[in-house]
């Protein structure tokens, strides 16, 4: 099979511009519950940066905001209200424009670092802008990482399991190989932002870039503990990005961006399958 491989999937370390909430838990932001337009509440700037990181709010001069963290004020203005409404609509929450407990609860859930796409397809899945995709279906991947053998073995198992799941429903064949050039660095585990925040991230075709957060308590067990993140579920999700799918708003979909500790989401839902068929056609 290796002789027929005509395209290398180079999955490498990519430092995306993401600014998720740092150092906060849902409990620590509990005082924001009920905040609404017209108020000034300490901590709202963290929500603004969160919404900016995942595609709901632009921090620039046109909105009177700044990318400088210190310059973002704790004022609940119309821009924040619209961003919260968009976030609530995207995840099937009650669209109020207020920071209710349900909205904050979703925000505080560990998630993928890839931005959400507002213009979801019907009904839930999304494709990247321009619908980028691979021109061939035989892809190889490599793993380069300085982590321990135990973590590397977990990653190898997670990737193999995730690739097999996508292979069941697509024309893709994935095989582990060796880098053919200095640019083919491979999948990496590195520090992103600490545990229980951004779990992993990746980019659309045809870059093939993926990374995992070394600070997470990763598990590959069938029943992870509530303090563990299932690496197989995360790997399967990131592979979906690699082949061209954006985030789904369906909570049962592999491409749903949030994943709590102890939760497994390894099998493609019909929404995931519909999305990949929309991009590549049926096998």
201 annotated among ligand-binding-site residues: no
**Interatomic CA distance for residues 233 and 82, integer angstroms:** 32
Tokens, residue 153 = 């073995």
Other Cβ atoms closer than 10 A to 122: 7
Render pLDDT for 203-247 as a digit per residue (tens, 0 to 9). Answer: 888 887 888 998 899 999 999 999 999 999 999 999 999 999 999
**Interatomic CA distance for residues 17 and 14, integer angstroms:** 10
pLDDT per 10-residue tile (average), the chain, 283 residues: 33 35 56 93 92 89 46 88 95 95 94 82 83 88 78 91 94 74 50 81 86 92 96 97 94 96 97 95 86
In this structure, what is the dihedral angle of CA atoms 221, 225, 231, 232, given to the nearest 10 degrees?
50
| Cα atoms in the Cβ-side hemisphere of radius 13 Å centred on 87 | 28
**Interatomic CA distance for residues 170 and 186, integer angstroms:** 22
Using DSSP, state whether 143 is helix, strand or coil: strand
**Interatomic CA distance for residues 94 and 277, integer angstroms:** 31
**Interatomic CA distance for residues 163 and 254, integer angstroms:** 13
- Active-site positions read 238
112 annotated among ligand-binding-site residues: yes
247 annotated among ligand-binding-site residues: yes
237 annotated among ligand-binding-site residues: yes
Sorted by where each starts, the structural domains of the chain and their CATH numbers stand as 2-17+121-280 (3.40.390.10), 27-107 (1.10.101.10)
| Cα atoms in the Cβ-side hemisphere of radius 13 Å centred on 278 | 20
Block residue for tokens 């619908």 = 131
DSSP string, 67-116: SSGGG--SB--HHHHHHHHHHHHHTT----SSB-HHHHHHHTS-B-SSPP
The pTM for the full model equals: 0.84
């Amino acid at each position: 099979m290796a002789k027929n491989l005509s395209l290398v999937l180079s999955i490498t370390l990519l430092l995306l511009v993401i600014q998720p909430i740092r150092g906060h838990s849902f409990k620590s932001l509990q005082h924001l519950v009920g905040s609404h337009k017209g108020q000034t509440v300490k901590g709202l700037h963290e929500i603004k940066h969160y919404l900016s990181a995942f595609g709901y709010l632009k921090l620039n001069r046109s909105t009177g905001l700044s990318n400088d963290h210190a310059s973002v004020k704790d004022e609940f203005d119309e821009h924040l209200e619209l961003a919260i409404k968009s976030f609530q609509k995207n995840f099937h929450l009650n669209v109020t424009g207020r920071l209710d407990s349900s909205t904050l609860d979703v925000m505080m859930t560990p998630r993928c670092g890839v931005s959400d796409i507002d213009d979801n397809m019907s009904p839930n899945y999304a494709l990247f802008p321009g619908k980028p995709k691979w021109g061939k279906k035989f892809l190889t991947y490599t793993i380069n990482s300085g982590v321990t053998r135990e973590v590397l073995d977990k990653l190898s198992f997670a990737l193999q399991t995730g690739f097999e799941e996508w292979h069941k429903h697509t024309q893709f064949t994935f095989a582990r190989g060796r880098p053919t050039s200095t640019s083919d660095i491979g999948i990496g585990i590195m520090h992103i932002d600490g545990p229980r925040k951004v779990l992993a991230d990746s980019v659309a075709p045809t870059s093939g870039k993926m990374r995992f957060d070394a600070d997470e308590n990763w598990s590959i067990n069938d029943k992870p503990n509530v303090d563990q993140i299932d690496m197989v579920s995360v790997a399967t999700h990131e592979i979906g990005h690699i082949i061209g799918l954006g985030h789904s708003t369906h909570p049962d979909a592999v491409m749903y961006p949030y994943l709590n500790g102890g939760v497994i989401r390894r099998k493609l839902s019909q929404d995931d399958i519909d999305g990949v068929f929309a991009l590549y056609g049926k096998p």
